[in-house]
Amino acid sequence: MSAAHASDAVRNDWTLDEIRALFTRPFNDLLFAAQQVHRAHFDANQVQVSTLLSIKTGACSEDCAYCSQSAKYDTGLERERLLPLDEVVAAAQAAKDKGSTRFCMGAAWRNPTDKNLDRVIEMIGAVRGLGMETCVTLGMLNQGQAKRLRDAGLDYYNHNLDTSPEFYGNVITTRTFQDRLDTLQHVRAAGINVCSGGILGMGESGNDRARMLQELANLPQHPESVPINMLVQIEGTPLYGNDKIDALEFVRTIAVARILMPKSYVRLSAGRTDMSDEMQALCFLAGANSIFYGERLLTTDNPGADHDHALFDRLGIRMQASELEADRQACCGSGC
């Protein structure tokens, strides 16, 4: 496929051979093609910034082999109850003050109960009241729960595919790959934006990375946000001690994701503390245009805001303004 054709195409029928061919292109050619696609749909020097808060930590019944919050592994993480509303609002306000436009709230549940959802819905309303976009990740949802979240004004729901269908059972056994697809379908049917990506460096093959991107790109509608995580190795989890993914292979994956899903935000997510500034710069060149921002990502470290500001200044990157806040200010300015 030519770069010009790729920059115009939004497809949901990618073959595995086509995606493999992208991965094997010379590095410079791949990044050039990805940058062309990126510039056709986005400001190449602007990045959307989100902040992620764990609103309920630990004691999860799932056995995700990468996760410190699983009750099945001894990682030294203390179990915490659902945070009170005022603490969540204070954290959201602090994130907004530092430039975040979206506030993401994560709870370590297999799936929320209706009572759980009542309290999360309060949080969604309060955070939206600050003029921020909202995202939650709460585990599996049924149709009714997705509709309740939509009615509450939720902007995004995160539910990662994590890896390929073929490798999935090596990482998680307490739910199936189809369970994840079902939740994404419920979220999409409810009219909520989808945030879904994966994790690199779990021992998967290059073919698994291609298959994961194929599953995402061939959804009936591309996810609006595609977080690409680099495994954060946590002592006590089964994946601790894995060989780290090659930095250039990670950048290649970002570039291929950009080409396959040209209108999606591709987010640098977990693992940025192990990335050099130069590696992150290559990721932005490859088409990444979103980051998680703030010192913590659920239970793992993340670069500080000052470091990110300095990197953005060096690269000439601007942080994207909040569309929700702009709409609210325009509305208030018109006398509503």
Q: How far apart are CA 195 and CA 106, in angstroms?
A: 13
Residue 313 makes CB contacts below 8 A (sequence gap 6+) with none
Residue 301 makes CB contacts below 8 A (sequence gap 6+) with 232, 273, 295
Residue 321 makes CB contacts below 8 A (sequence gap 6+) with 101
**Residues labelled catalytic:** 60, 64, 67, 104, 135, 195, 267
Q: How far apart are CA 148 and CA 143, in angstroms?
A: 9
Helices (H), the chain: 3-8, 16-23, 27-41, 85-97, 114-128, 143-151, 177-190, 206-217, 247-260, 277-285, 305-315, 323-333
**Quick check: helix, strand or coil at residue 4?**
helix
Whether the Cβ atoms of residue 88 and residue 124 lie closer than 8 Å to each other = no
Residue 2 makes CB contacts below 8 A (sequence gap 6+) with none
